[in-house]
Chain A
Amino acid sequence: GAGVSQSPRYKVAKRGQDVALRCDPISGHVSLFWYQQALGQGPEFLTYFQNEAQLDKSGLPSDRFFAERPEGSVSTLKIQRTQQEDSAVYLCASRAGELYNEQFFGPGTRLTVL
C-alpha cells in the first residue's frame, strides 16, 4: 500500500457531535494537505502541513475545525460540534516536498451530518 489512505471512508454524525478524520500520507512525504469537497463542487483548500508545522490554515471555515500532525506523518482533522453544512468529502493529499509539484490524493472520507 504505497498510496495515501484515509479513515474512516464514511462517517455519519448527529449534529453537535465531534468527529475525527485520519490521513496516512505516503511514507516519507513531507507535505500534507486537507481539502473539503462539497457535492458537485471542486475541492477547496483547508490547511497545509510541512512536516509537523501547520504553515497555512487559511481555508479552515471556522474555529470548530482543527488539524494536527504531531509527528510529521499521520494527520487528523477534527471537527467539533458538527453542523449540517459540514457534510462533504474530506480529501487528504501528500507531496514529497516543496520542490515537488505533484500531490497524491487519498480516497476521501465522506462525512454526513444529520
Chain B
Amino acid sequence: KQEVTQIPAALSVPEGENLVLNCSFTDSAIYNLQWFRQDPGKGLTSLLLIQSSQREQTSGRLNASLDKSSGRSTLYIAASQPGDSATYLCAAQYNQGGKLIFGQGTELSVKP
C-alpha cells in the first residue's frame, strides 16, 4: 500500500532558526513529490514540486529535496519567521494525471 508519513506532527521553534520537515513514502516508484502549506480554515497552497528525475527544488527560503532510494523528502526552511507558522503537508503522486497521497502534516509554530 502506498503511504506517506510525516514526522513530527508538530514543531515549535524560535524565530530565526533553520528547520527541516521530514516526509517518507513507502513506494519509491514516485512520479513527483509536492509540498503544500495549509493555513487554518484555508485550502492548500503549493510550495514546491519535485519531479522524480530531480533531486531538489528551491524557492526563496525554502528548499525541498527528494531521495527516491530511501523513500524520503525533506523541506528545509531557512531563517524561519512567525509568518511561516502553518501546517505543512507533503504529497506523493505515482502516475501522470494521478491523485495525490498526502502525509498527516507537520504543524509548525514559529515564536517571535
Contacts and interface: CB of A to CB of B under 8 A. Distances in A.
B46 A102 contact: yes
A33 B4 CA distance: 19
A35 B36 CA distance: 15
Interface in A83-114: 91, 93, 97-99, 101-108, 110
Interface residues of A, number: 28
Contacts of B46: 102-104
Interface stretch (A41-49, A62-70, A71-79): A41-49
Given A48-B99, A56-B99, A102-B49, 15 more contacts: A31-B97, A40-B104, A41-B104, A42-B103, A42-B105, A43-B44, A45-B99, A45-B101, A101-B51, A103-B46, A105-B45, A106-B43, A107-B42, A108-B42, A110-B41
Interface of A: 4, 31, 33, 35, 40-45, 48, 50, 56, 59, 91, 93, 97-99, 101-108, 110
Interface of B: 4, 6, 32, 34, 36, 41-46, 49, 51, 89, 91, 93, 96-97, 99-105
